[in-house]
Structure 1
């Protein structure tokens, strides 16, 4: 555990940032200050390109403490929030400034889609990182020199720390506090915020396992649609190949090439996605959900959920189901 006086945390502000990406982590550090000796407090600063009000994506405006050029030396942690302004538009001034600013910081990172700005500045190459589950593929495509993790709530790789979507910035900040001042302090902060120190299942439970099903008339797309529309039926590679009017070997190769999943991985993901909808929107017994989704038994469904989602069906229903 590393301790030093007044660790400086700098949050970068820009138009169309997500306000919760800013305030969530900053409140973690602020509440930590209530529990720490004065000499170990976090010093919290905000910077922006210009000394003007910055408008967040929800409409709230924030006044930065200083401009980019006034960033003080000795930054312990430099953070970039996400939001439409992070991935939807360019910030040439900010991305030109970031590499130099990062060199002067002990640690740097991003909340949610703020990782896109780090990537635009060339700061993700050679690192493992993550972002919101809905944007991981886009981040990976834009940053082939990095390894984008798809499931973790946050990823720490040497001096880089990145988090998944929005409230995952709180998880990330708690991890920083635990590293700096120990797990007990971080746990007390988590209690104040009414959040858990470590969520079950990572980001995987929050997004679908399969992208939108194509509805064109190609052989592979027809099979994908048929599986989703008849999910209660039994499927084998041979049966799917027959639906595509192809040999099993050619079908398996073509399917994996186009979908980036084996046919049976696709079927399993489709079954899990459908069962999640039933768990979220109904109080059907687990054995009925399992039957309607083609699992055959609640035991088989539980095994698939635990391995793929990181939660049991009951845990998933408790976390995401209705009243």
Structure 2
């Protein structure tokens, strides 16, 4: 019988726990009794604890009691984990033990920060919630953080993106052990996609406000977004910044971590996403207004950047 342990703690994200638990529970409907999942919730202290949404959760055992190896050991995420304070040492000790004892271990959402504090992310490919991926990379620079993946496997380490991505990861594990037909049956029961198209980029904005909105780089960014229909060269943008092209390109990358070309393309994608969400305009009109030129070019960029076509994006995120 596959055994699954999920570590919880005060302030845990309830859906990070409930999503995977429901996937494994529903999977038990479709597999032989001897192969059914047995899920155990673990915490530092016995008794009830409050999730971040106010829900009360009760662990089945404490970390000290759970000395046995599990087939899969996961730590759920929580809104406070990215803040920098190290989690309970009992949780970290259990994670360190689980990483050596268990066939597979990993995290849901921001649970990756707990893995990082336990020293388990060094030289590993990992993902987490798009909103905190940069923080994870900064706090644990030896980790290779993928900002876009819904879930990721690196050897015996598995990590998922934000919140509901724990369902995607769990479905993938069910498919691996019991076949895609079982995973599809579970997905239908939960009314979710068995395999979600695209990555986290379709949910996250590409552009963030500059640290100094009076800087030459911020001036260039505003110039691009106000004239998103136009084409731009590095020389033209450097003139807006009042710098040489070479110096401008260097300063731009230093401040934004992307090239000017990359920024312009991301700005076009974000502008197009807003129109796809809020208007009924034809794709060719949106492509022209956002500087792609043609609907085909916009489709190519969307597929490369966020893993879905403009039409698929509109179908998922159109408001009203």
* Common fold: TM-score over 0.5: yes
1:30 is matched with 25
Aligned counterparts, 1:195-274, within 5 A: 195-214=192-211, 216-274=213-271
Deviation at 1:234, TM superposition (A): 2.3
Tell me the SS of whatever aligns to 1:256. Answer: helix
1:149 to 135, 146, 149: 146
Task: Answer yes or no: is the 8 Å Cα contact 1:14–1:85 preserved in 2.
Answer: no
Distance 2:94 2:35 in 1: 29
- Cα-Cα RMSD: 1.4
Aligned counterparts, 1:1-20, within 5 A: 6-20=1-15
Distance 1:258 1:87 in 2: 23
Tell me the SS of whatever aligns to 2:103. Answer: strand
Distance 1:58 1:258 in 2: 36
Tell me the SS of whatever aligns to 1:75. Answer: coil
Distance 2:311 2:212 in 1: 32
Aligned counterparts, 1:49-64, within 5 A: 49-64=44-59
C-alpha distance after superposition, 1:52-105 (max 9, x if no partner): 211001100011111111114131111111112433343232223321232221
Deviation at 1:36, TM superposition (A): 0.9
2:87 is matched with 91
Deviation at 1:290, TM superposition (A): 1.7
Tell me the SS of whatever aligns to 2:138. Answer: helix
Task: Answer yes or no: is the 8 Å Cα contact 2:82–2:136 preserved in 1.
Answer: no
Distance 1:165 1:288 in 2: 33
C-alpha distance after superposition, 1:97-144 (max 9, x if no partner): 321232221111100000000101101112111001111111011111
Aligned counterparts, 1:42-191, within 5 A: 42-88=37-83, 89-93=85-89, 94-191=91-188
Deviation at 1:189, TM superposition (A): 0.8
Distance 2:164 2:132 in 1: 15
The two structures have a TM-score, normalised by structure 2, of 0.95
Q: Which runs of 5+ in 1 are unaligned?
A: 1-5
Does 2:193 match 1:192? no
Distance 1:132 1:63 in 2: 25
1:320 is matched with 317
Task: Answer yes or no: is the 8 Å Cα contact 1:15–1:85 preserved in 2.
Answer: no
Q: Which runs of 5+ in 2 are unaligned?
A: none
Task: Answer yes or no: is the 8 Å Cα contact 1:95–1:120 preserved in 2.
Answer: yes
Task: Answer yes or no: is the 8 Å Cα contact 1:213–1:225 preserved in 2.
Answer: no
Task: Answer yes or no: is the 8 Å Cα contact 1:111–1:168 preserved in 2.
Answer: yes
1:3 is matched with none
2:305 is matched with 308
Task: Answer yes or no: is the 8 Å Cα contact 2:69–2:98 preserved in 1.
Answer: no
After superposing on structure 2, the runs of 4+ consecutive aligned residues of structure 1 that deviate more than 6 Å are: none
The two structures have a TM-score, normalised by structure 1, of 0.95
